[in-house]
């Protein structure tokens, strides 16, 4: 029985070819406008008293702080993620199968949630310092204790929150590393550390640097953790220039530096990657034979992985749960914030999903498709505060004011500009696995492009739709700076409410919203871990 793949449509009924490019042109305009508006405003705006004050007092210190923060955070991430990925991928030790997915869970908790929890844990009145004083009869000034409200404290929080970006890419790279090269190194008597340093890391370097670049762009974009811990980064300075001084032009000039940092990180990643590649035989896909770490070595590996998980997820989440149960202070009617969060996340994810699937469907259809994809990637690389500022600038140029329904539309627009790339990638990956013969058969039968998209490409793309929708929903649910800047009155989300409670030192009230945000993020993270654990044939 013949299978009806497509319906042949008379050419006289087909739409003109140029109409297929209209969605891409509109998408490119929608996604690129906030970034361009912020950049142009920063370049064209005049110097004003506010800018002169920022230039004289804050700009260089906040820029230097941001650069130091990125350097220290990057070093900590590499020190955490690479050993963890290597141990889990290449060795067998007690609890390895559990740590394989536990180590990804910090992706579910945004940096500001960990900052709130660690502030409570490590403050003078917190449980750690209280236990020290109780055990020693010392006073608060009689001993040294790390200060979480400092640049090193912020770097620690961001590192344990963002290391999964490098852990995932390193683990995937180690999984696909040539077994021949590893076997040869072991046969020649190379110690395990030498195999990692001289074989695995050079082979996986492009993937590791790509993951590190993503993590550092997230760190540069962070406002919640830095603002709560009192570290003056560029994103914090931008937000304060807009909210405290009310000077959008000065904020736009600071946004230019953030844009330059984001572009610089991407350029460095592409520069070091160059033509990097690894040649491997068919044994690349051979099932891994993990040597078993016996005795103390096995327990040391398990202890290291357990410590990483505890610092990045277990300890801060357990502390928030303890606070919520101990005090019973759940805040003033957080149910409204929950409903608002679900509505905004659903609307933003829906719009981003539609744009993302359009980009995925048109991914290989000419220069305009590449431009739309570039606009989506650019928005994902730019901090949310910069996009929000660009939206405000564009709105003011049209003579419109942020109020009511218009504010909601602008907020959803910024969500789409920020997160569309995250949703397009899983669907584009699904399309890449489809056989070209299906599209070739449709073209041979004279089926118009729109019919091919509807009957062939769209059903295939939807195989990645669940992952894309979950990623978009959770990313928007966690988003903080753009929501703070653009939300209408009485439209507080869980993220905004948690940050406001924590800023007012109401940590007990902030605990439950933080836990709800983290719980929502667990679903896609666990799904991601499950798929990654089956990434290598024969595993």
In contact, 121 and 318? CB cutoff 8 Å = no
Per-residue confidence (pLDDT) for residue 281, from 0 to 100: 45
446: left (phi over 0), alpha (psi -120 to 50) or beta: left
Structure tokens at 69: 């923060």
Per-residue confidence (pLDDT) for residue 324, from 0 to 100: 83
Can you list the alpha helix ranges (DSSP code H) found in 398-455?
A: 404-432, 436-444, 449-452
Spell 500-521 as b/e; 16+ CB within 10 A means b.
bbbeeeebbbbbbbbbbbbebb
Give the pTM.
Answer: 0.81
Could you tell me the CA-to-CA distances from 483 to 172, 326, 384, 486 in Å, in that order? 33, 30, 9, 5
Per-residue confidence (pLDDT) for residue 3, from 0 to 100: 43
Where do the domains of the chain lie, and which CATH numbers do they carry? 21-49+332-505 (1.10.3720.10), 58-232+293-330+523-533 (1.10.3720.10)
Spatial separation of the C-alpha atoms in residues 217 and 377, rounded to whole Å? 12
Per-residue confidence (pLDDT) for residue 177, from 0 to 100: 60
Phi, psi (deg, nearest 5) at residue 223: -115, -40
Per-residue confidence (pLDDT) for residue 226, from 0 to 100: 92
Q: What is the pLDDT along the chain (539 residues), one digit of tens a residue?
A: 444 444 444 444 444 455 556 777 888 888 888 888 888 877 776 667 777 888 878 888 899 999 999 999 999 999 999 999 888 888 888 988 889 888 988 988 888 999 999 999 988 888 888 888 888 888 878 888 888 999 999 999 999 999 988 898 888 777 766 555 666 566 655 566 666 666 666 767 777 888 888 888 889 888 889 999 999 998 888 888 877 777 777 888 888 888 888 778 777 777 766 645 444 444 444 555 677 887 888 899 999 999 999 999 999 999 998 888 877 655 556 778 888 888 888 898 888 888 887 777 776 666 777 787 777 777 777 778 888 888 887 777 776 666 667 888 888 988 988 888 776 766 666 565 555 555 555 556 555 555 666 566 666 656 556 667 777 888 888 888 888 888 887 788 888 888 888 888 888 888 888 888 888 888 777 776 666 665 544 44
Phi, psi (deg, nearest 5) at residue 92: -110, 130
């Amino acid at each position: 029985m013949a299978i009806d793949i497509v319906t042949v449509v008379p050419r006289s009924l087909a739409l003109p070819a140029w109409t297929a490019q209209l969605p891409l042109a509109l998408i490119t305009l929608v996604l690129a406008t906030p970034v361009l508006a912020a950049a142009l405003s920063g370049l064209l705006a005049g110097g004003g008293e506010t800018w002169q004050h920022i230039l004289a007092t804050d700009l260089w210190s906040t820029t230097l702080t941001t650069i130091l923060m990125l350097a220290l955070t990057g070093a900590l991430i590499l020190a955490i993620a690479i050993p963890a990925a290597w141990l889990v991928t290449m060795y067998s030790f007690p609890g390895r199968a559990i740590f394989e997915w536990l180590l990804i869970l910090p992706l579910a908790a945004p940096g500001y949630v960990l900052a709130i929890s660690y502030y409570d844990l490590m403050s003078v009145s917190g449980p750690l310092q209280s236990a020290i004083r109780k055990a020693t009869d010392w006073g608060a000034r009689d001993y040294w204790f790390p200060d979480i409200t400092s640049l090193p404290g912020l770097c620690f929080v961001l590192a344990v929150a963002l290391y999964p970006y490098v852990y995932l890419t390193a683990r995937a790279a180690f999984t696909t590393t040539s077994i021949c090269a590893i076997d040869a190194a072991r046969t020649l008597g190379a110690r395990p550390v030498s195999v990692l340093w001289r074989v695995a890391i050079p082979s996986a370097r492009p993937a590791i640097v790509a993951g590190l670049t993503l993590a550092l762009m997230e760190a540069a974009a962070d406002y919640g953790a830095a603002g709560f811990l009192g570290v003056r980064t560029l994103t914090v300075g931008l937000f304060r220039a807009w909210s405290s001084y009310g000077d959008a032009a000065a904020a736009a000039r600071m946004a230019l530096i953030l844009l330059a940092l984001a572009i610089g990180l991407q350029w460095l990643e592409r520069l070091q990657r160059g033509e990097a590649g690894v040649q491997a035989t068919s044994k690349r896909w051979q099932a891994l034979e993990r040597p078993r770490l016996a005795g103390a070595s096995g327990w040391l590996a398990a202890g290291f992985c357990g410590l990483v998980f505890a610092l990045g997820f277990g300890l801060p989440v357990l502390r928030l749960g303890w606070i919520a149960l101990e005090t019973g202070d759940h805040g003033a009617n957080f149910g409204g914030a929950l409903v608002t969060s679900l509505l905004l996340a659903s609307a933003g994810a829906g719009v981003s999903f539609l744009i993302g699937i359009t980009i995925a469907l048109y991914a290989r259809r000419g220069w305009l498709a590449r431009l739309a994809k570039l606009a989506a990637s650019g928005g994902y690389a730019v901090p949310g505060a910069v996009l929000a500022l660009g939206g405000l600038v564009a709105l003011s140029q049209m003579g419109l004011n942020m109020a009511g329904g218009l504010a909601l539309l602008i907020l959803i627009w910024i969500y789409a500009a920020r997160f569309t790339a995250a949703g397009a990638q899983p669907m584009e990956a699904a399309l890449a696995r489809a056989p070209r013969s299906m599209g070739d058969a449709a073209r041979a039968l004279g089926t118009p492009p729109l019919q091919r998209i509807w009957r062939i490409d769209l059903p295939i793309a939807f195989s990645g739709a669940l992952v894309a929708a979950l990623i978009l929903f959770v990313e928007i649910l966690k988003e903080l700076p753009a929501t703070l800047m653009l939300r209408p009155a009485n439209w507080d989300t869980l993220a905004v409410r948690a940050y406001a409670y924590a800023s007012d030192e109401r940590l007990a009230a902030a605990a439950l919203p933080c836990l709800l945000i983290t719980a929502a993020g667990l679903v896609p993270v666990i799904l991601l871990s499950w798929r990654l654990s089956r990434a290598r044939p024969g595993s």
